[in-house]
Amino acid sequence: MDSSDPPFYETYKALFDKAAIEESRPTKREQVMFASSLEECEPPLIDLSQLDESRDCKSEIARASREWGFFQVVNHGISREILERMRREQVKVFRQPFEKKINEVKFLNFSSGSYRWGTPAATCLKQLSWSEAFHVPLADISGSDGCGSLSSTMEQFAGTVSDLANKLAEILAEDLGHKSDYFKENCLANTCYLRMNRYPPCPMFPNSNVFGLMPHTDSDFLTILYQDDVGGLQLVRDGQWFAVKPNPDALIVNIGDLFQAWSNGVYKSVEHRVVTNPRVERFSSAYFLCPFHDTVIKSCGQPPVYRNFSFREYRQQVQDDVQKLGQKVGLPRFLL
């Protein structure tokens, strides 16, 4: 590892030593869970070029959200130039020395805690995320001018992806017969987040598929992901894990927990994860459509599956569970 990489091995040496012993006698379940070769899947691919003219396009979006919880979009209106510039700036900022990145307040004018790596609460290797990220509130971006053109690039990327996220959310709301401006009123630029991810190579356990990001669901309404062609994203479908085949021309959209609760379980927030590559690093950028902290999420169907809760309460419950249990519990905490 070079000076830009977080000190994963030094910090989590005890977990790696324990895993090395367990790897010599894995259970059948662990062999399945960490299979290095999973069957590939391709979530529904939706062409948005006919979005304004075709009801079929909107129906495809709603159907994919019900059946998969994931879908891909092409002709989405975000230029290749913006996407490539975002990737270049992202690579550049992650190439900075680790000691500089952990001082994100001074380095980038981001809020304290925006730079994240590893899993502080991990008690075993399966709870460790072998990755680093800048998880940035959009309100921070306009002031983040400490690293050249990063700020303006992030701002342009977030602005265009935000428009797409709101358009998709409105379509999904309308399909349920509800007011389409709900998301414009509750999910503003200063309530959403942009996350830049880097997954360094993990050569220590090439046969174990150490998680770059441990299995989870997203705590938002919608996530829009721009990823490279390395691969590593996996999702659950019909109770089985599948590897998502990278499509360089598509953005990936997935339903978050808040949309599942708001839709009364109609749209599915699907568990997903990222596995590391032993030789190649992976980059992705994710936009999270989130409401105000005090926004109350109410199931729109009857009888309601979930009790009412605020976004603030949900985030706090997730944080408490991660600290106590080493993993997120999520929506099951709020079932009626």
Question: Could you give the 3-state DSSP secondary structure of residue 292?
Answer: coil
Q: What are phi and psi of 161, to 5 degrees?
A: -70, -35
CA distance 122 to 183: 35
- Residues β-bridged to residue 116: 133
Catalytic residue among 279, 282, 312, 315: 282
Q: What are phi and psi of 323, to 5 degrees?
A: -65, -40
Establish whether 282 is a catalytic residue.
yes
CA distance 146 to 195: 17
CA distance 85 to 238: 37
Question: Could you give the 3-state DSSP secondary structure of residue 162?
Answer: helix
- Burial per residue of 234-257, b for 16 or more beta-carbon CB atoms within 10 angstroms, e otherwise: bbbbeeebbbbebeeebbbbbbbb
What CA dihedral angle connects 143, 149, 154 and 160, to 10 degrees?
Answer: 120
* Angle between helices 80-94 and 150-175 in degrees, nearest 10: 120
Q: What are phi and psi of 212, to 5 degrees?
A: -80, -35
**Could you tell me the CA-to-CA distances from 52 to 58, 168, 237 in Å, in that order?**
9, 12, 30
* Half-sphere exposure for 237 (CA within 13 Å, toward CB): 20
By CB atoms closer than 10 A (0-12, 13-18, 19+), residue 186 is buried
* Half-sphere exposure for 47 (CA within 13 Å, toward CB): 5
The total of other beta-carbon atoms located within 10 Å of residue 92's CB is 14
Residues with catalytic roles? 282
